[in-house]
Structure 1
């Protein structure tokens, strides 16, 4: 059996975003971005490029932002300081 893996390479266990073959200024999709976020930059294909999962997480983030803004407006309107 021939083993050609170089385990001393810093790219093997490092973050995927610092590997030379990852970023050539190509655009990534939302699934890859969320996968990088959840894995701390270690994997970009953890969510299997499923657009529904990335849409779900993006929607949650938007709803949290809108509800926080609406809460602040409602509190300022009904309970002025």
Structure 2
């Protein structure tokens, strides 16, 4: 597990296991560190899955029957990109 202090909150938090990584962050971190435009009002949650082969991974899961309501894009501007 790794985290970095961003303003006065302890996010983002990145968990890694067996080559997989999942990250949790505040709306400010999602916006400032990753270039995303998070929803900040009402009831909401966002799950963002990054992979080096995002386009190929999307095509693979769509081929298995997954349905997406959003586009997958390379992580340009990511703090780790």
Higher strand share: 2
TM-score, reference length from structure 1: 0.30
- The structure whose residues are more often helix, as a share, is 1
Q: State which structure, 1 or 2, has the greater radius of gyration over its C-alpha atoms.
A: 1
